[in-house]
Amino acid sequence: MSKPTIGFIGLGIMGKPMAKNLVKAGYDVTVFDLKQASIDEVAAEGAKGASSITEASKDADIIITMVPNSPHVKQVVLEGDDCVIKAAKKGAIVVDMSSIAPLVSKEVGEKLNEKGIIFFDAPVSGGEPKAIDGTLSIMVGGPEAYFETIKPVLMVMGASAVLVGEVGSGNTTKLANQIIVACNIAALGEALVLAKKAGVDPQKVFEAIRGGLAGSTVMEAKAPMMIAQNFKPGFRIDLHVKDLNNVVETAEKLDMPVACTDLALAMLKELQAQDCGSLDHSALVKISEKAAGIEL
Protein backbone atom coordinates (compact mmCIF):
# COMPACT_ATOMS: atom_id res chain seq x y z
CA MET A 1 0.00 0.00 0.00
CA SER A 2 1.35 3.43 -0.94
CA LYS A 3 1.97 5.98 1.76
CA PRO A 4 -0.54 8.82 2.14
CA THR A 5 0.39 12.25 0.84
CA ILE A 6 0.79 14.85 3.55
CA GLY A 7 0.23 18.59 3.73
CA PHE A 8 2.02 20.18 6.68
CA ILE A 9 1.11 23.71 7.79
CA GLY A 10 3.16 25.47 10.48
CA LEU A 11 6.94 25.18 10.54
CA GLY A 12 7.86 26.71 13.87
CA ILE A 13 10.16 25.42 16.57
CA MET A 14 8.19 22.15 16.70
CA GLY A 15 6.64 21.85 13.27
CA LYS A 16 9.84 22.20 11.31
CA PRO A 17 11.63 19.13 12.74
CA MET A 18 8.38 17.15 12.69
CA ALA A 19 7.93 17.83 8.98
CA LYS A 20 11.58 16.98 8.32
CA ASN A 21 11.15 13.60 10.01
CA LEU A 22 8.18 12.82 7.76
CA VAL A 23 10.28 13.63 4.70
CA LYS A 24 13.13 11.44 5.99
CA ALA A 25 10.64 8.59 6.45
CA GLY A 26 9.77 8.72 2.77
CA TYR A 27 6.46 10.54 2.84
CA ASP A 28 5.41 12.91 0.06
CA VAL A 29 5.14 16.13 2.11
CA THR A 30 4.02 19.58 0.94
CA VAL A 31 4.75 22.32 3.48
CA PHE A 32 3.53 25.84 4.13
CA ASP A 33 4.44 28.52 6.65
CA LEU A 34 4.20 32.30 6.81
CA LYS A 35 8.01 32.41 6.80
CA GLN A 36 9.48 31.56 3.40
CA ALA A 37 12.82 30.71 4.99
CA SER A 38 11.18 27.90 6.96
CA ILE A 39 9.55 26.50 3.82
CA ASP A 40 12.89 26.65 2.00
CA GLU A 41 14.69 24.86 4.85
CA VAL A 42 12.30 21.89 4.85
CA ALA A 43 12.11 21.86 1.06
CA ALA A 44 15.90 21.54 0.96
CA GLU A 45 15.45 18.16 2.68
CA GLY A 46 12.98 16.90 0.07
CA ALA A 47 9.59 18.41 0.83
CA LYS A 48 7.57 20.38 -1.69
CA GLY A 49 7.16 24.05 -0.82
CA ALA A 50 3.69 25.57 -1.13
CA SER A 51 2.76 29.20 -1.61
CA SER A 52 -0.54 28.93 0.30
CA ILE A 53 -2.60 26.83 2.69
CA THR A 54 -4.73 25.83 -0.28
CA GLU A 55 -1.76 24.52 -2.22
CA ALA A 56 -0.52 22.53 0.77
CA SER A 57 -3.96 21.04 1.42
CA LYS A 58 -5.75 20.38 -1.86
CA ASP A 59 -4.08 17.10 -2.86
CA ALA A 60 -3.18 15.79 0.59
CA ASP A 61 -4.62 12.64 2.10
CA ILE A 62 -3.58 13.85 5.56
CA ILE A 63 -3.25 17.53 6.49
CA ILE A 64 -1.26 18.32 9.64
CA THR A 65 -1.45 21.71 11.33
CA MET A 66 1.05 22.84 13.96
CA VAL A 67 0.39 26.46 14.93
CA PRO A 68 0.54 28.44 18.20
CA ASN A 69 -2.99 28.61 19.64
CA SER A 70 -6.75 28.31 19.17
CA PRO A 71 -7.25 31.46 17.04
CA HIS A 72 -4.48 30.38 14.67
CA VAL A 73 -6.02 26.93 14.21
CA LYS A 74 -9.41 28.46 13.41
CA GLN A 75 -7.81 30.89 10.98
CA VAL A 76 -5.80 28.21 9.16
CA VAL A 77 -8.54 25.58 9.06
CA LEU A 78 -11.81 27.50 8.85
CA GLU A 79 -11.45 31.17 7.96
CA GLY A 80 -10.94 33.21 4.79
CA ASP A 81 -10.50 32.14 1.20
CA ASP A 82 -7.19 30.40 1.86
CA CYS A 83 -8.02 27.75 4.44
CA VAL A 84 -8.04 24.00 4.88
CA ILE A 85 -11.81 23.48 4.91
CA LYS A 86 -12.18 25.07 1.48
CA ALA A 87 -9.20 23.28 -0.05
CA ALA A 88 -9.24 19.75 1.39
CA LYS A 89 -10.81 16.97 -0.61
CA LYS A 90 -13.74 15.02 0.79
CA GLY A 91 -12.45 12.12 2.87
CA ALA A 92 -9.19 13.84 3.77
CA ILE A 93 -8.00 13.65 7.36
CA VAL A 94 -6.99 16.79 9.25
CA VAL A 95 -4.71 16.25 12.25
CA ASP A 96 -4.23 19.34 14.37
CA MET A 97 -1.10 18.86 16.48
CA SER A 98 -1.26 22.32 18.05
CA SER A 99 -1.97 22.69 21.77
CA ILE A 100 -5.30 24.52 21.98
CA ALA A 101 -8.51 24.68 23.99
CA PRO A 102 -10.49 21.42 23.79
CA LEU A 103 -13.75 23.22 22.99
CA VAL A 104 -12.12 24.83 19.95
CA SER A 105 -10.99 21.40 18.79
CA LYS A 106 -14.58 20.21 19.01
CA GLU A 107 -15.82 23.25 17.06
CA VAL A 108 -13.24 22.74 14.32
CA GLY A 109 -14.00 19.02 14.15
CA GLU A 110 -17.75 19.56 13.81
CA LYS A 111 -17.34 22.03 10.94
CA LEU A 112 -14.90 19.77 9.10
CA ASN A 113 -17.17 16.77 9.54
CA GLU A 114 -20.01 18.71 7.92
CA LYS A 115 -17.84 18.88 4.79
CA GLY A 116 -16.96 15.19 4.86
CA ILE A 117 -13.47 15.81 6.30
CA ILE A 118 -12.24 13.71 9.24
CA PHE A 119 -10.60 15.49 12.19
CA PHE A 120 -8.25 14.54 15.01
CA ASP A 121 -6.71 16.72 17.70
CA ALA A 122 -3.26 15.35 18.48
CA PRO A 123 -1.15 17.67 20.63
CA VAL A 124 2.36 16.66 21.59
CA SER A 125 4.69 16.73 24.57
CA GLY A 126 8.47 16.67 24.61
CA GLY A 127 9.59 20.05 23.29
CA GLU A 128 12.06 20.76 20.52
CA PRO A 129 14.61 18.03 21.44
CA LYS A 130 12.02 15.26 21.11
CA ALA A 131 10.54 16.85 18.00
CA ILE A 132 14.00 16.68 16.44
CA ASP A 133 14.67 13.05 17.33
CA GLY A 134 11.10 11.90 16.66
CA THR A 135 10.27 10.76 20.19
CA LEU A 136 7.34 13.02 21.08
CA SER A 137 4.43 11.80 23.19
CA ILE A 138 1.28 12.29 21.12
CA MET A 139 -2.17 12.49 22.72
CA VAL A 140 -4.95 11.87 20.22
CA GLY A 141 -8.67 12.61 20.17
CA GLY A 142 -10.88 11.53 17.29
CA PRO A 143 -12.74 8.69 15.57
CA GLU A 144 -11.35 5.27 16.42
CA ALA A 145 -12.25 3.95 12.96
CA TYR A 146 -9.61 6.14 11.32
CA PHE A 147 -6.91 6.06 14.00
CA GLU A 148 -4.97 3.22 12.41
CA THR A 149 -4.79 5.27 9.20
CA ILE A 150 -2.93 8.11 10.88
CA LYS A 151 -0.99 6.16 13.51
CA PRO A 152 1.97 5.20 11.24
CA VAL A 153 2.39 8.88 10.35
CA LEU A 154 2.26 9.92 14.01
CA MET A 155 4.78 7.26 14.98
CA VAL A 156 7.34 8.84 12.64
CA MET A 157 7.17 11.95 14.85
CA GLY A 158 6.63 10.30 18.22
CA ALA A 159 7.67 7.47 20.48
CA SER A 160 4.02 6.99 21.44
CA ALA A 161 0.63 7.92 20.00
CA VAL A 162 -2.35 7.07 22.19
CA LEU A 163 -6.00 7.52 21.23
CA VAL A 164 -7.56 8.78 24.46
CA GLY A 165 -11.12 9.49 23.28
CA GLU A 166 -13.24 11.56 20.94
CA VAL A 167 -12.27 14.92 19.43
CA GLY A 168 -11.13 17.29 22.18
CA SER A 169 -9.76 14.49 24.34
CA GLY A 170 -6.26 14.96 22.98
CA ASN A 171 -6.11 18.58 24.07
CA THR A 172 -7.73 17.79 27.42
CA THR A 173 -4.93 15.28 27.97
CA LYS A 174 -2.36 17.89 26.93
CA LEU A 175 -3.76 20.34 29.46
CA ALA A 176 -3.38 17.69 32.17
CA ASN A 177 0.19 17.14 30.99
CA GLN A 178 0.97 20.84 31.14
CA ILE A 179 -0.33 21.16 34.69
CA ILE A 180 1.97 18.36 35.81
CA VAL A 181 4.98 19.70 33.92
CA ALA A 182 4.63 23.29 35.14
CA CYS A 183 4.13 22.34 38.78
CA ASN A 184 6.96 19.81 38.59
CA ILE A 185 9.39 22.38 37.18
CA ALA A 186 8.40 24.95 39.79
CA ALA A 187 8.89 22.44 42.62
CA LEU A 188 12.19 21.25 41.16
CA GLY A 189 13.55 24.79 41.03
CA GLU A 190 12.45 25.50 44.59
CA ALA A 191 14.04 22.27 45.83
CA LEU A 192 17.40 22.89 44.17
CA VAL A 193 17.51 26.48 45.42
CA LEU A 194 16.69 25.26 48.94
CA ALA A 195 19.64 22.87 48.73
CA LYS A 196 21.97 25.63 47.52
CA LYS A 197 20.79 28.01 50.25
CA ALA A 198 21.45 25.30 52.84
CA GLY A 199 24.98 24.82 51.55
CA VAL A 200 24.42 21.54 49.70
CA ASP A 201 25.60 21.12 46.10
CA PRO A 202 22.48 21.07 43.82
CA GLN A 203 24.26 18.73 41.39
CA LYS A 204 24.81 16.21 44.20
CA VAL A 205 21.18 16.55 45.28
CA PHE A 206 20.07 15.86 41.72
CA GLU A 207 22.27 12.78 41.51
CA ALA A 208 21.05 11.52 44.88
CA ILE A 209 17.30 11.79 44.24
CA ARG A 210 16.94 11.24 40.49
CA GLY A 211 16.53 7.46 40.92
CA GLY A 212 13.93 7.71 43.66
CA LEU A 213 10.26 8.62 43.75
CA ALA A 214 10.99 12.28 42.99
CA GLY A 215 12.80 11.33 39.81
CA SER A 216 11.02 12.15 36.55
CA THR A 217 11.49 12.99 32.90
CA VAL A 218 11.08 16.62 33.91
CA MET A 219 13.90 16.33 36.43
CA GLU A 220 16.21 14.63 33.93
CA ALA A 221 15.61 17.33 31.32
CA LYS A 222 15.39 20.45 33.47
CA ALA A 223 17.66 20.01 36.51
CA PRO A 224 20.86 20.13 34.41
CA MET A 225 19.55 23.25 32.63
CA MET A 226 18.79 24.96 35.94
CA ILE A 227 22.17 24.07 37.43
CA ALA A 228 24.00 25.29 34.31
CA GLN A 229 21.75 28.37 34.09
CA ASN A 230 21.08 27.35 30.49
CA PHE A 231 17.63 28.56 29.49
CA LYS A 232 17.87 28.08 25.72
CA PRO A 233 14.26 27.34 24.82
CA GLY A 234 13.10 23.81 24.21
CA PHE A 235 9.66 24.98 25.33
CA ARG A 236 9.21 28.69 25.87
CA ILE A 237 7.61 30.31 28.90
CA ASP A 238 5.25 32.18 26.56
CA LEU A 239 3.88 28.89 25.25
CA HIS A 240 3.44 27.42 28.72
CA VAL A 241 1.51 30.53 29.78
CA LYS A 242 -0.73 29.97 26.76
CA ASP A 243 -1.34 26.36 27.75
CA LEU A 244 -2.07 27.15 31.39
CA ASN A 245 -4.44 29.93 30.35
CA ASN A 246 -6.30 27.23 28.41
CA VAL A 247 -6.31 25.08 31.56
CA VAL A 248 -7.84 27.89 33.59
CA GLU A 249 -10.42 28.64 30.88
CA THR A 250 -11.41 24.98 30.66
CA ALA A 251 -11.50 24.56 34.45
CA GLU A 252 -13.80 27.59 34.78
CA LYS A 253 -16.22 26.02 32.31
CA LEU A 254 -16.10 22.83 34.38
CA ASP A 255 -16.56 24.79 37.64
CA MET A 256 -13.36 23.30 39.04
CA PRO A 257 -10.64 25.02 41.10
CA VAL A 258 -7.04 24.54 39.93
CA ALA A 259 -4.95 25.94 42.77
CA CYS A 260 -1.61 24.47 41.71
CA THR A 261 -2.10 25.66 38.14
CA ASP A 262 -2.99 29.15 39.34
CA LEU A 263 0.26 29.36 41.31
CA ALA A 264 2.43 28.06 38.49
CA LEU A 265 0.74 30.38 36.01
CA ALA A 266 1.33 33.38 38.27
CA MET A 267 5.04 32.46 38.46
CA LEU A 268 5.30 32.12 34.69
CA LYS A 269 3.52 35.43 34.16
CA GLU A 270 5.93 37.09 36.59
CA LEU A 271 8.79 35.90 34.38
CA GLN A 272 6.98 37.21 31.31
CA ALA A 273 6.78 40.61 33.00
CA GLN A 274 10.57 40.44 33.39
CA ASP A 275 11.00 39.91 29.62
CA CYS A 276 11.80 36.23 30.11
CA GLY A 277 8.95 34.88 28.00
CA SER A 278 11.26 33.61 25.28
CA LEU A 279 13.32 31.54 27.75
CA ASP A 280 12.82 27.84 28.43
CA HIS A 281 10.29 27.10 31.15
CA SER A 282 13.14 25.74 33.28
CA ALA A 283 13.74 29.45 33.99
CA LEU A 284 11.00 29.07 36.61
CA VAL A 285 13.94 28.48 38.93
CA LYS A 286 14.61 32.23 38.70
CA ILE A 287 11.56 32.88 40.89
CA SER A 288 13.01 30.82 43.74
CA GLU A 289 16.52 32.19 43.14
CA LYS A 290 15.27 35.76 43.43
CA ALA A 291 13.34 34.99 46.61
CA ALA A 292 16.38 33.27 48.16
CA GLY A 293 18.88 35.86 46.96
CA ILE A 294 21.16 33.26 45.29
CA GLU A 295 21.72 31.55 41.96
CA LEU A 296 22.37 27.85 41.52
Would you name the residues annotated as active-site residues?
174
Alpha helices in the chain (DSSP H): 15-24, 36-43, 53-57, 70-78, 84-87, 102-114, 127-133, 144-157, 169-197, 202-209, 217-228, 237-253, 259-273, 285-292
Sign of CA dihedral 17, 23, 24, 27: positive
> What are the residues facing 96 on neighbouring strands?
65, 121
Which of 75, 84, 93, 80 is closest to 50 using CA atoms? 84
Pair 10, 65: CB distance under 8 Å = yes
The conformation of residue 295, written as its DSSP 8-state character, comes to: -
> What are the residues facing 121 on neighbouring strands?
96, 141
